[in-house]
Amino acid sequence: MALAGCGSSSAGGSDAATSTAGASAASRLGGGITVLAAASLKESFTAIGAAFEAANPGTKVTLSFGASSALAQQIIQGAPADVFASAAPKNMQQVVDAEAADAPTDFARNMLEIAVPPTNPAKVAVLADLAGPSVKVALCQPQVPCGALAQKVLANAGVSVKPVTLEQDVKSTLTKVQLGEADAALVYVTDVTSAGDKVKGIPIPAGVDAATTYPIADLTASKNAAVAKAFVAFVLSAQGRSELAKVGFQAP
């Protein structure tokens, strides 16, 4: 099922042959893989991992989430892993340049949104409000994809912000709002959606907002290349895209 979901770019009978071969290969999959994924993928990849295991009995997907910049360095330094899903092409390219991955594929697109507590005590309505001297703003660290994107969005809007904290990834940034330690944060649309009623999202105008593209690749040092490739194919399949869309990811 996993491999069949990816499909084939060829037409006619070759599609049927590929589908049959994919189903046969899927039935032989077994063993575990470790997937290193951007923190913003936690909800969707947890669902995708469970669905992949259900479709391929005998497989086990271990997920580890964090900042893409940190995960890329772990891979380059030899951390054992089989698949890398990054929140930015830059960090994936670092892994490719280190010959730790080859031929990544873009699978999703994300944009930023302002997250505030449900009661919005600071009365934040637009990006310019984040510059208010009494507004406590949380941002991701600048080397992290969500931090780099936030700086781009603020520059687009001509807004200067002095954050009260710079967090290591998007989840910890959003947590500051959930705990009431920040009045607002710039996080991904998908993280606001995943948080449900714990936060309120304030859209950023299309002419100001910026997007990031998510690439995925199986790693050259994988000890279970067949399952790693099958997992990547599953993420790219219709079922994988459906799980991503549930929390607001766009097609790349």
Residues 169-219: pLDDT tens digits?
Answer: 999 999 999 999 999 999 999 999 999 999 999 999 999 999 999 999 999
CB contact at 8 A, 59 and 29: yes
201 and 134 together in one domain: yes
The Cα 40–Cα 56 span in angstroms is 25
Mean pLDDT of the chain: 91
State the residue range of the domain holding 97: 2-108+214-246
Domain count, the chain: 2
Q: 207 and 226 share a domain?
A: no
Q: Kindly state whether residues 92 and 124 are assigned to the same domain.
A: no
Is the distance from CB of 118 to CB of 178 less than 8 angstroms?
no
Question: Do residues 130 and 205 both lie within one domain?
Answer: yes
Residues in the chain: 252
Render pLDDT for 99-109 as a digit per residue (tens, 0 to 9). Answer: 999 999 999 99
pLDDT, tens only, 4-33: 333 333 334 444 443 333 343 445 799 999
* pLDDT for 18: 38
Q: Is residue 59 pLDDT above 80, yes or no?
A: yes
- The one-letter amino acid code at 233 reads A
In a domain, 252, yes or no: no
pLDDT value at position 1?
35
CATH of the domain at 103: 3.40.190.10
**Residue 117, token pair as written in the block:** 């507590």
| Residue 28: predicted pLDDT | 79
Residue 224 structure tokens: 């279970």
